[in-house]
Amino acid sequence: MKGIIHCLGAVLRTKLAEQMAYRSHFILSVLLLVAGDLVVPFVTLLIYSSGASFPGWAMHEALLIQGVFALAKGIAFPFFFGMVGTTLHHVREGTFDLLLLRPRPVMLMAMLTGFDPDDFGRLFSGAVIFGFALSGMSQPVLGAWLQFGLLFIASIAILCAVSLFLSGMLFRWVGSSRVFDIFDAVTSFGMYPGTIFAKSLQNLLTYVLPVGLIAFVPASALLGRSGLEALWALVPVSLFLLLSVYYWNRMLRGYTSAGG
């Protein structure tokens, strides 16, 4: 654990120094991420302003889901999602071998190499949306906060698992940046109240492909809309994470480098 923290510290210092060489680019990137995360809430705001709404969901409640989604990305993206870009780049360029040679687990090295400080900007946008949403509703009780805390950890675990699946896919599907589009498409289900989807799809999005757990389930817990039974959702999340680790390692074994 100490070694991992040292590695992370070294990577953090290097990445920040790298970004400081192009400061205006770094600032613009952070601003872009903040603006990008505000697009969907902005659209929700415009829709509610036109008089339409998600049945049974007030505007602040709908925004809370999107705020939780942005917060989860603000934590998961800097640490995990960079490995997708790292794998894409290194496998295409034939330089992934450099990660294999390092004296640390390959998955850890792929995550550390992909560490991206820009993505912390998402935490800011997430906090703004989350704070705005909370300001428009009655304050949650302590129990709801505790349940939310547990489910929020699960939400980060799902994003980590999705990163592993997408990254693993790139060992075979060399150089395809479309994995980012696939991520956006699949996780877009998680940015809206799950109740708008058909019951069968809701179950699918909770227990099979648990993107509904990224934001909808934690936000529902905070709103007091779900009981302790929502914690059962932690089981499919754990399985999903284990499966993603297995999948990534399996795909890594199929990596042939330039040797055929």
Partner 1 sequence: MRRLAAIIQSIGFATYKEWAAFRSHMAASLLVGPVLFLVQVFIWSAMFEGRETINGLTYSQMLAYYGVATLIHYIAFDFADWNLQMLVRSGKFVTFALRPLPHWLFALSQKIGHRSLALWIEVLPVMALFIFVFGVNLKPASPFWAVISILLSFLMNFIVNYCVGLTAFWLVRAEGVRRVFLLLKDVSAGVFLPLSFFPEVLQKVLFFLPFQFITYLPTRVYIGDYELAGIRLSIEQAVGLQAAAVLLAGAVMLALYGAAMRRFTGVGV
Q: Cα–chain-centroid distance for residue 21?
A: 27
Among 4, 10, 16, 46, binds partner 1 (CB under 8 A): 46
The reply on whether position 93 binds partner 1 by CB under 8 A is no
CB of residue 6 vs partner 1: minimum separation in angstroms? Answer: 30
Q: Which is closer to partner 1, CB of 34 or CB of 109?
A: 34
CB of residue 96 vs partner 1: minimum separation in angstroms? Answer: 19
CB of residue 53 vs partner 1: minimum separation in angstroms? Answer: 7
Q: How far apart are CA 182 and CA 139, in angstroms?
A: 36
Interface with partner 1 in residues 198-257 (CB under 8 A): 198, 201
Cβ burial, residue 1 (10 Å; 0-12/13-18/19+): exposed
Among 81, 130, 171, 192, binds partner 1 (CB under 8 A): 192
Among 22, 145, 232, 246, binds partner 1 (CB under 8 A): 22
Residues in contact with partner 1 by the rule CB under 8 A: 22, 24-29, 31-32, 35-36, 39-40, 42-43, 46-47, 49-55, 173, 175-178, 181-182, 184-186, 188-189, 192, 196-198, 201
